[in-house]
Amino acid sequence: MSADTPALPDGFIVGASTAAHQIEGGNTASDWWAYEQAHPDRLQPSGSACDSFHRWPEDMDLLAAAGLQAYRFSIEWSRIEPVNGEFSDEAVEHYRRMVVGARERGLEPIVTLHHFTNPAWFVDGGGWLHSDATRRFVSYLERIAPVLDAGVERVITINEPNMVAIMHRVLAGDAHLDNGLGGGLPLPHEGVRDALIRVHQGAREFLHTRHRGLRVGWSVANQAVQFVDGGEERASAYREAIEDVWLRAAAEDDHIGVQAYTRTVFGPEGKVEPEAHVARTTTGWEYYPAALEEAIRHTADVIPGVPMLVTENGISTRDDSQRIAYTRDALQGLGRCLEEGIDVRGYLHWSLLDNFEWGNWEPTFGLIAVDRETFARTPKPSLAWLGALAADRRL
């Protein structure tokens, strides 16, 4: 890193992200746990995951020792409310201790309130489409007040609601997964979309009233949608349904979480696959670090003035030097945005740990490797690299 690379603005945080179900282990009351048990043919089970429910102090120690300044983790609703209306004080105390533990280590805890998993009872009882969904979510938020009051300044209400509304179709076995655009993800379920927007905005109002000064937003899975000649209409229809409507719903938020990994390109016939020589990551996605810059610029265009936090960006690779190269390029794009005055307040790498990738243990997004049997943590060179960048304050 040389002195002519952009300096990080004061207050800009560099950290890493995780999600409860992907690392904690034993989330037996969640809907995902139930899917994993019901479909062993399709999904590998999360099981004990990375055992971070017990090993979170070690995770935070490694993150802080590397020089990172923030840790994004999620609260598992199904631990707080395993049965409708029955709350666990022990679980609340667990997450409260995590917030205190982060602060003690000099880390800002950025807390996600919902990251893909639900209590099984919530889904069995109608999920987001139930007329009481906002009240149910808010009554969970009421119970976690001691967690938020222990030192949380920024929350993400719902992680990637656009993916939640897409997964709703997939998990419900919807026969109409074809989006009519010639490739790409299925379009989000519209009823679930409208419900999630209501829940998010209701939660924001509740949190603002109950926790003065708490900054509230949600995080959107950005697709860096592009087109080649003749693909413009498909690209704009796709981008509107999958991304822009979700960004506009955040126009009054305190921040927006940007989450970018790769791009989606449309041509006259539909989605254009990368040419054979183009590198792909181990999840099969095109290696495209410029996705982050594109996502930041696009978000700034759709909701100008809403401060951004990069809440996820990273790569699944077995080659850690490729992770560093990818992240360096992505951060240089972020630096160009900062230099132009685009308001980005932080960068949280996905992920701190190699973890449970939703039914699949193969992908390795982590800055730290985790032994699947002993749970021993082995930091990769990328962790020290990102920590040094955070300490050096230069991109």
The residues binding ligand BGC (CB under 6 A) are 19, 22, 159-160, 163, 221, 259, 312, 350, 357, 365
What phi and psi values does residue 212 have, to the nearest 5 degrees? -55, 130
Nearest approach in angstroms of CB 186 to ligand BGC is 15
- Is the Cβ–Cβ distance between 295 and 260 less than 8 Å? yes
Nearest approach in angstroms of CB 178 to ligand BGC is 21
Nearest approach in angstroms of CB 199 to ligand BGC is 18
- Is the Cβ–Cβ distance between 157 and 196 less than 8 Å? no
Nearer Cβ to ligand BGC (221/292): 221
Q: What is the DSSP letter of 68?
A: -
Give the integer Cα–Cα distance in Å for 342 and 351.
24
**C-alpha dihedral (195, 198, 202, 207), degrees to nearest 10:** 80
Nearest approach in angstroms of CB 213 to ligand BGC is 26
Nearer Cβ to ligand BGC (93/362): 362
What residue ranges in 179-306 does DSSP mark as E strands?
215-221, 225-227, 256-260, 264-267, 270-271
Residue 299: helix, strand or coil by DSSP?
helix
Nearer Cβ to ligand BGC (8/123): 123
Nearest approach in angstroms of CB 68 to ligand BGC is 18
Give the integer Cα–Cα distance in Å for 120 and 139.
16
Helix 381-392 / helix 320-339 crossing angle, nearest 10 deg: 20
Which of 145, 160, 158 lies closest to 114, judged by CA? Answer: 158
Nearer Cβ to ligand BGC (243/312): 312
Which of 313, 204, 213 lies closest to 251, judged by CA? Answer: 204
Nearest approach in angstroms of CB 283 to ligand BGC is 7
Within 10 angstroms of residue 39's Cβ, the number of other Cβ atoms is 12
Nearer Cβ to ligand BGC (73/137): 73
Cis-peptide into 316, omega within 30 deg: no
For residue 46, the Cα-to-chain-centroid distance in whole angstroms is 18
Question: Exposed, middle or buried, 121 (CB in 10 Å: 0-12/13-18/19+)?
Answer: middle
Give the integer Cα–Cα distance in Å for 78 and 66.
32
**C-alpha dihedral (388, 391, 394, 395), degrees to nearest 10:** 50
Give the integer Cα–Cα distance in Å for 283 and 40.
20
Nearer Cβ to ligand BGC (30/259): 259
Nearest approach in angstroms of CB 16 to ligand BGC is 13
Nearest approach in angstroms of CB 302 to ligand BGC is 19
Nearer Cβ to ligand BGC (160/244): 160
Nearer Cβ to ligand BGC (137/365): 365
Give the integer Cα–Cα distance in Å for 191 and 169.
11
Which residue is it, tokens 């796709």?
A: 238
Nearest approach in angstroms of CB 210 to ligand BGC is 26
Nearer Cβ to ligand BGC (159/201): 159
Nearest approach in angstroms of CB 13 to ligand BGC is 19
Nearer Cβ to ligand BGC (8/220): 220
